[in-house]
Amino acid sequence: MSEPIQESGAPLLRIERLALALPEGADRLYAVDNVSYDLTAGEILCVVGESGSGKSMTANALMGLLPTGVHVAKGRALFDGQDVLAMDEISHRALRGRRIGMIFQEPMTALNPLMRVGEQIAEVFEAHGLLTPRARKEKALALLEEVRLPDPASALRAYPFELSGGQRQRVMIAMALALEPELLIADEPTTALDVTTQAQILHLVKDLQARRGMAVMFITHDFGVVAEIADRVCVMREGKIVEMGEAREVLDHPRHDYTRALIDAIPADVVAAVGRPADVLAAVERPADVLAAVERPGDAIPPQRDDKDSSPLLSISGLDKVYRSSGGWFQPKREVVALDGIGFSLGKGETLGIVGESGSGKSTLGRCIVGLNRPDNGEIRLDGVDLSALEGRELRAHRRRIQMVFQDPYASLNPRIRVGMAIAQGPIANGVPKAEALAQAQALLATVGLDGGAAERYPHEFSGGQRQRIGIARALALNPELIVADEAVSALDVSIQAQVLTLLDDLKQKLDLSLLFITHDLRVAAQICDRLIVMQKGRIVEHGIAREIFLSPQHPYTRELLEAIPGRRDAPEPATAAAGVL
């Protein structure tokens, strides 16, 4: 499968017919099966695939970080002529960190919480017996400057929890680059980040790669990212390479159906298409459900308004919420303004998107509406009843009417409770007899596209997408009028995302629901929302009809969000002024 390399000389990395065996009882025999590719110095190769495609496994094998149970069945991985898979542990260790650096997906957990950032960077030099402790510290400072952390001197002394996600990922990059490795492996390094932060990190990786002439293996599920940085692409599915080639070539003329499906699954094209009239024609070939977002009439209030009274279902005014933390030993009291004078309304049957980055207050807003948090000031009126003024029994009676779908499909279901019971608990708490509630749960599972046997199983037996369906069924169990979906598809693969979004949209139509869709991802909002609210630092900076916001964003922040979406072909380089401010 491997493409010929234009440059003369042997590639830096050559993977030959690699097969990694999974432990017995897995859904397939090999994590990766007969995979071969080359990577030349100075090249960025994107390995693309959805979760379970085996895209990270090769990288882990190179680093000697394979999970227990997975082992090399056959094949070689020649790094600079040496087979790293056949190396003894000590020479492999000498390679790790020094000649091959790696950054990981989760910046929040990839750093030791008890060690200062500077110590963790200095540790890389220490691991390879280089430099004196003082020189290590100076080098760490220089590295933090190179990855453009604001105030590197104080970041050196900071603990990871004192840094934001983007800043931590910069620290990870500094660490991986400390010894100027020839190969950098980046395993979904931007997946957990906000879109503007993601753009900055991508820019940084590309910039450092160009300056140092490293080879980069960039693992991602996102073709938007591919369009942004890749020289070459390798698409993987179920452990096999389905397509490989120059990035431009694969993006413009995908040969394999799977590649095409992945590229189509990215709603970025919808946004781009809306943005540039010339491309709307091209978009006609796309699947109908993706197009729906573009072609839906841009009414602020959907057609159902005619046969209902015109008063909105939910109306919010003057909502304030400030988080106060009591002062620590050496710290003054801290106040974080999460909501600052928020007001909007939501019609019956309407889908409203709330878009913003982490820290914008969008989740707090969702939690206030559902009643998990109490606002400091303001009104939340549901059909005219002010929920924020209710307490106790009355509040509980109204809670049924607003239900929530949570972000993390893994953490939001109790692992010890069968799925059927998890769905039935809400109705049971509201006085429905147990048998009836369980029967209803069965029906709901069918509604969200799961088979009837699902009710008897435990959450861990389901995939992420299936669990999110269960979460939706649970929310529906109480016959709510409004569903608040807080980042409900953010943790899912793009193709699964599209399925869950379609499901939500179908259910909304069928059950006459209103939907409040909270997301950081403008691409997702593009697919499902009638109207949009853009939040920044607890305030609404822009609101309007979804389509119009995409066509002509008014607020600079909205424009910044739109421009940061990776894979927009006319995307300008992220503003360097903003690069340091994460």
Partner 1 sequence: MAYVSLILGRVGKAVIVLLAILVFNFFLIHAAPGDPAAVMAGEAGATDQQFLDDLRERFGLDQPLPVQLWRYMSGVLQLDFGYSYRQQMPVLDLILDRLPATLLLTGAAFCISLLFGIIAGTLAAMRAKRPSGSIIMGLALLFYATPLYWVAMMAVLVFSVTLDWLPAYGYSTVGAGYTGLAHAGDVAVHLILPALTLGLFFMAVYTRMTRTSMLSVSQQDFVKTARAKGLAPGVIQRRHILRNALLPIITLAGLQAGQMVGGAVLTETVFAWPGIGRLMYEALMQRDYNLLLGIFFFCALLVILFNMLTDVIYRLADPRIKQGAT
Strands (E), 139-220: 183-187, 215-220
Query: For partner 1, which is the closer residue by CB, 94 or 503?
Result: 94
Least separation, in Å, of the C-beta of 169 and partner 1? 12
Using CA of residue 43, residue 48, residue 53, residue 57, what is the dihedral sign?
A: positive
Query: For partner 1, which is the closer residue by CB, 59 or 355?
Result: 59
Query: For partner 1, which is the closer residue by CB, 184 or 294?
Result: 184
Which residues are CB-contacts of 177 (< 8 A; sequence separation ≥ 6)? 101, 143, 146, 147, 184, 208, 212
Least separation, in Å, of the C-beta of 115 and partner 1? 8
Using CB under 8 A as the criterion, what x/- string covers residues 122-161 for binding partner 1? Answer: -xx-xxx------------------------------x-x
Instruction: Determine how many CB atoms are found less than 10 A away from the CB of residue 505.
Output: 18
Least separation, in Å, of the C-beta of 144 and partner 1? 16
Q: In 3D, which of 549, 573, 582, 558 has the Cα closest to residue 274? A: 549
Q: Are strands 334-346 and 385-386 parallel, antiparallel or unpaired?
A: unpaired
Query: For partner 1, which is the closer residue by CB, 186 or 582?
Result: 186
Q: Listing from the earlier edge strand, what are the strands of the sheet with 539-545?
A: 402-405, 482-486, 514-519, 351-355, 531-536, 539-545
Looking at the DSSP assignment, which residues form a beta bridge with residue 535? 540
Least separation, in Å, of the C-beta of 107 and partner 1? 9
Three-state SS for 457-470 is CCHHHCCHHHHHHH
How far, in Å, are 40, 216, 449, 479 from residue 6 at the CA level?
10, 17, 49, 61
Binding segment for partner 1 (CB under 8 A), chosen from 171-179, 396-404, 412-420, 562-570, is 171-179
Binding segment for partner 1 (CB under 8 A), chosen from 133-141, 321-329, 474-482, 574-582, is 321-329
Least separation, in Å, of the C-beta of 291 and partner 1? 39
Residues of span 355-384 touching partner 1 by CB under 8 A: none
Task: Tell me which of 172, 183, 205, 352 binds partner 1, using CB under 8 A.
Answer: 172
Instruction: Determine how many CB atoms are found less than 10 A away from the CB of residue 28.
Output: 11
Query: For partner 1, which is the closer residue by CB, 310 or 326?
Result: 326
Length of the chain as a residue count: 582
How many residues touch partner 1 under the rule CB under 8 A: the total is 38
Task: Tell me which of 325, 377, 552, 576 binds partner 1, using CB under 8 A.
Answer: 325
Least separation, in Å, of the C-beta of 500 and partner 1? 26
Using CB under 8 A as the criterion, what x/- string covers residues 217-236 for binding partner 1? Answer: --------------------
Euclidean distance between the first and final Cα of the chain, in Å? 40
Query: For partner 1, which is the closer residue by CB, 22 or 121?
Result: 121
Binding segment for partner 1 (CB under 8 A), chosen from 313-321, 330-338, 373-381, 433-441, is 330-338
User: What would the two tokens of residue 15 be?
Assistant: 């993977």
Binding segment for partner 1 (CB under 8 A), chosen from 133-141, 237-245, 325-333, 563-571, is 325-333
Least separation, in Å, of the C-beta of 582 and partner 1? 20
Q: In 3D, which of 108, 192, 195 has the Cα closest to residue 534? A: 195
Indicate the Cα dihedral angle 414, 415, 421, 423, nearest 10°: 50
Task: Tell me which of 150, 287, 298, 327 binds partner 1, using CB under 8 A.
Answer: 327
Least separation, in Å, of the C-beta of 217 and partner 1? 13
Per the CB < 8 A criterion, the answer to whether 242 and 265 are in contact is no
Q: Could you give the CA distance from residue 141 to residue 138 in angstroms, rounded to a whole number?
A: 5
Q: Could you give the CA distance from residue 200 to residue 467 in angstroms, rounded to a whole number?
A: 32
Indicate the Cα dihedral angle 570, 573, 574, 575, nearest 10°: -120
Q: Are strands 385-386 and 377-382 parallel, antiparallel or unpaired?
A: antiparallel
Q: Could you give the CA distance from residue 195 to residue 378 in angstroms, rounded to a whole number?
A: 30
Query: For partner 1, which is the closer residue by CB, 47 or 110?
Result: 110
Least separation, in Å, of the C-beta of 62 and partner 1? 10
Query: For partner 1, which is the closer residue by CB, 151 or 161?
Result: 161
User: What would the two tokens of residue 156 be?
Assistant: 């050196």
Q: How far is CA 423 from the centre of its chain?
A: 26
DSSP H/E element including 374: none
User: What would the two tokens of residue 168 be?
Assistant: 């931590």
Least separation, in Å, of the C-beta of 66 and partner 1? 11
Query: For partner 1, which is the closer residue by CB, 176 or 235?
Result: 176
Per the CB < 8 A criterion, the answer to whether 186 and 46 are in contact is no
Using CA of residue 23, residue 26, residue 30, residue 31, what is the dihedral sign?
A: negative
Least separation, in Å, of the C-beta of 429 and partner 1? 32
Least separation, in Å, of the C-beta of 328 and partner 1? 4
Least separation, in Å, of the C-beta of 14 and partner 1? 21
Binding segment for partner 1 (CB under 8 A), chosen from 36-44, 49-57, 170-178, 218-226, is 170-178
Query: For partner 1, which is the closer residue by CB, 115 or 439?
Result: 115
Least separation, in Å, of the C-beta of 179 and partner 1? 9
Q: Could you give the CA distance from residue 470 to residue 427 in angstroms, rounded to a whole number?
A: 15
DSSP H/E element including 155: helix 152-157
Residues of span 82-121 touching partner 1 by CB under 8 A: 93-98, 101-102, 104, 106, 109-115
Query: For partner 1, which is the closer residue by CB, 86 or 161?
Result: 161
Residues of span 62-81 touching partner 1 by CB under 8 A: 63-65
Query: For partner 1, which is the closer residue by CB, 175 or 352?
Result: 175
Q: Which residues of the chain form contacts with partner 1 (CB under 8 A)?
A: 63-65, 93-98, 101-102, 104, 106, 109-115, 123-124, 126-128, 159, 161, 172, 175-176, 325-332
